[in-house]
Amino acid sequence: MTSDDLLFLAKNVSKSFGGLVALDKVTVAVPEGALTLMIGPNGSGKTTFLQVACGVLKPDSGALLFAGRNVTGLPPYARFRLGIVTTFQIPRLFPSLSVLENVLLAAQKVRESPLSLLSSRKGERDLVERAFEVLKLLSLDRVWDKPARALSGGQMKLLELARALVSEPKLLLLDEPLAGVNPALAGEIMQFLSKVRREKGVAMLLVEHRLDIALKHADYVYVLHHGRVISEGSPEAVVEDPLVAKAYLGE
Nearer to other proteins, 3 or 116 (CB): 116
Name which of 127 and 230 has its Cβ closer to other proteins.
127
Q: How far is the CB of 228 from other proteins (least distance, A)?
A: 29
We find the least distance from the C-beta atom of residue 182 to other proteins, in angstroms, to be 27
Q: How far is the CB of 97 from other proteins (least distance, A)?
A: 6
What are the residues binding other proteins (CB under 8 A)?
76-77, 80-81, 86, 92, 94-97, 101, 104-106, 108-109, 111-114, 116-117, 124, 127, 147, 149, 163, 167
Q: Which is nearer to other proteins, 60 or 124 (CB)?
A: 124
- Measured from the CB atom, the residue of 101 and 219 that comes closer to other proteins is 101
- Least distance in angstroms from the C-beta of 82 to other proteins: 10
Q: How far is the CB of 29 from other proteins (least distance, A)?
A: 24
Please, which residue, 80 or 222, has the CB nearer to other proteins?
80
DSSP the chain: --STTEEEEEEEEEEEETTEEEEEEEEEEEETT-EEEEE-STTSSHHHHHHHHHTSS--SEEEEEETTEE-TT--HHHHHHHTEEEE-SS----TTSBHHHHHHHHH--SPP-GGGGGS-HHHHHHHHHHHHHHHHHTT-GGGTTSBGGGS-HHHHHHHHHHHHHHT--SEEEEE-TTTTS-HHHHHHHHHHHHHHHHHH--EEEEE-S-HHHHGGG-SEEEEEETTEEEEEE-HHHHHH-HHHHHHHH--
